[in-house]
Structure 1
Amino acid sequence: MTWEILNVIGTIAFAVSGALVAIEEDYDLLGVFVLGLTTAFGGGLVRNLLIGIPVENVWKQDYLFAIAFVVITIVFILPNKWIGRWKKCVVFFDAIGLAAFAIQGANYAVSIKAPLIVVIIAATMTGAGGGMIRDVFAGRKPMIFRSEIYALWAALAGLSIGLGWISGPLSTFVLLTAIVLFRVLAVYFKWNLPQKKRSRKQL
């Protein structure tokens, strides 16, 4: 049940995030659906490729595709004044998707008895993969590489689950809430990992 709930939460959140970014970039109807679906399912595709799960398993989630299609449609037909308000929430929706899919990816890796490092990678790529593909398709620098602390939260979720610290619905919910909270706080307070900056004269 927890697995299914995380799937639905992540799919809805990333579908909304992808659709809002597409609208912000003035994409047409097809572009909004492509970007919304890519964001919602891109992380799962990357995870499957990395840890050897058949890629076609993603296409068997027909109910999730239906949910994403409905959500993207709703976002597209919303009045422009509502869209303007929702654009401010892109970070929040993205944080929910990051958290839900990071936990789901880590749980998937644990279920096949993968080693700890694989659990961490699965969590990171499942959580951040969809957003990374979305940003590339939208012609933006991927948030995973430049934005306030992003993928680290997914990696820490994978570490927690891989070490067996998280078990059961309650602790999973606490972890999801913590990731969303820290991601939003990172954006608000502009927390960043160390960066190596070079002047243009040195390049």
Structure 2
Amino acid sequence: MSFEILTIIAVSAFAFSGAIVALSERYDIFGTFILGIATPFAGGIIRNIAMDVPVVHVWEQGYLFYVAFITIVIVYFFPKGWVMFWDRWNIYLDAIGLSAFALQGAAFAVEQEFPLGGIIFAAILTGVGGGVTRDVLAQRRPMVLHQEIYGVWAMTVGFIVGLELVDLGNVWQKYTLFGVVFGCRVLSYHLGWHLRFRDLYRL
């Protein structure tokens, strides 16, 4: 149940994020729904394809599609003046989706009995796949390629889960990891943390 709640939050946040990006780019209703649906589900699809796992289980989560659909409808009928306001806060929605889906991807790999490398790989693909798909469809530079640290936080989730430093069966540990990764992603954005080591030589 705790994972279902986390997944619902993540799907809603990423659907909201995708729809806001679509509206800010002046996409029509069809384009808005495409981005809104692709953002929460693309990461899981990419992960399964890359890891040679059947994709069918992604489509069996029917209620999550309803969650995404309702979220997109609400966003689409927002007063248009709110769109740019919410677009400025999209970093927080994206951080929620990144943290939750990275955790979900790592848990999925554990269930499939993948080794540490597979768990890290699954966490990265599930965490960043939706955001990358959204940005590519919106013709934006994907966040994972920005100078701010992004994909590293998903990789960190994979390491922590793969090394069994967190018990996914413990609700408090699971949500604590989610909160820490969310906080790190937001801090890395606002403080401008990045991986451009060449800048260190200019100091």
TM-score after normalising by structure 1: 0.93
The change in CA–CA distance for 1:34 and 1:163 in structure 2 (over 3 A counts) is same
Match of 1:117? 117
Instruction: Give the superposition deviation at 1:96.
Output: 0.1
Aligned to 1:49: 49
**Aligned position for 1:80:** 80
- AA at the equivalent of 2:162: G
Count, aligned residues: 197
Alpha-carbon displacement from aligned partner over 1:124-151 (angstroms, at most 9, x marks no partner): 0000000011111111111111241000
Q: Which residue of 2 aligns with 1:71?
A: 71
Which amino acid in the other structure matches residue 173 of structure 1? Y
Letter paired with 1:102: A
Give deviations 1:82-119, integer Å, cap 9, x for gaps: 22321121000000000000000000101111000000
Structure 2: gaps of 5 or more residues:
none
Q: Give the CA RMSD over aligned residues.
A: 1.3
Where structure 1 has 5 or more consecutive residues not aligned to the other structure, the ranges are 198-203
Tell me which of 178, 194, 201 is aligned to 2:180. Answer: 178
In the other structure, the counterpart of 2:62 is 62
How far off is 1:2 after superposition? 2.5
In 1, the alpha carbon distance for the partners of 2:137 and 2:84 equals: 21
Contact 2:46 2:129 in 1 (8 A): yes
Partner of 1:193: 195
Normalised to the residue count of structure 2, the TM-score between the two structures is 0.93
**Counterpart AA for 1:106:** A
Task: Give distance in 2, aligned partners of 1:187 and 1:27.
Answer: 26
